[in-house]
Structure 1
Amino acid sequence: MTSNNIWHQIATLGPIGHMRPAPGTWGSLAGVISGVAFIKLSPYLLEFAILIVIFIGIKAADIYCRDTGKKDAPEVIIDEVAGQWLPLLVIPNDLGWPAYCAWVALAFALFRFFDITKLGPIAMAEKIAGGTGVMADDLVAGVFAGIGVLTFYHLWQGIAV
């Protein structure tokens, strides 16, 4: 289903949310690419973008859910973008490009793991109604992924010393 409704376009990132298979993975990949671009310009830019996307994403997801009758439609992927951006914030920005890319790949993998498995608090957050619930589970998954990245980074630093 495609729509000219701007809120539907935001919720699905235009055609990206309709890509198969696994639209959530495509949304996460869009999050990685845009997040790295923002953070390389300024970490503060990514922090600001996260806040904006959370608020706009809640509204867009809410409207999409209401209009389509779907609780958490797989094509709604604005939540993946915001969630994927969170673990990117904890990656040190002063790493060389190959090392930085490796940590970004880990952030991507951990976010997808937590987003797909919906462990503990992630599943609880998903039960929140409307656009808030659509966004909340991915934000919690992003926090878990960020904790995972930090844990691996500090373990790696301990091994490398």
Structure 2
Amino acid sequence: MDTDIVATLTPSPVRRIIAVLSLAAVALMLLWIVLVTPPSDLGWLFFLVAGGLGLLWLSWRLWTATEGQIVLTRDGLFDSSGRCLTTIDNIKMVERGPFAFKPSGGFAVQLKEAPGRGWSPGMWWRFGRRLGVGGVTPVAQSKVVAESIILIILEKNNPEPE
């Protein structure tokens, strides 16, 4: 990873807390239903318990995943642990429009080659040749990172004559 950081994408504390509390509240409601008025059908009981525990796990994953940040360098996008989300050379197109399939307040990237699936709740996801960045991140920071990626690609593809 290149050490020259171009831009960073840090989770918004308010969005982070609201997202985690929303998931945890639904999880606790499902588990409360099981404790107060357990359904007589075992299928529904299993569904409520599994759903509640699954949402508690997901809220914990969201809390831990949003402790870090996403870093853009001239080499690519990385998370704060150094994991490469994609290289700049693998980016085909950046999508920021209102009708793009992207995370809330973020942007989507079409990749040339599929590097494999990955997911960090509230921060990014990668499936096939698509990478979504955003979720609990501020819209302004996401826009800066997306614009910076476009500028880096333009600089690489159109070097200035000397």
The answer, yes or no, to whether TM exceeds 0.5 is no
More strand by share: 2
More helix by share: 1
The TM-score with structure 2 as length reference comes to 0.29
The TM-score with structure 1 as length reference comes to 0.29
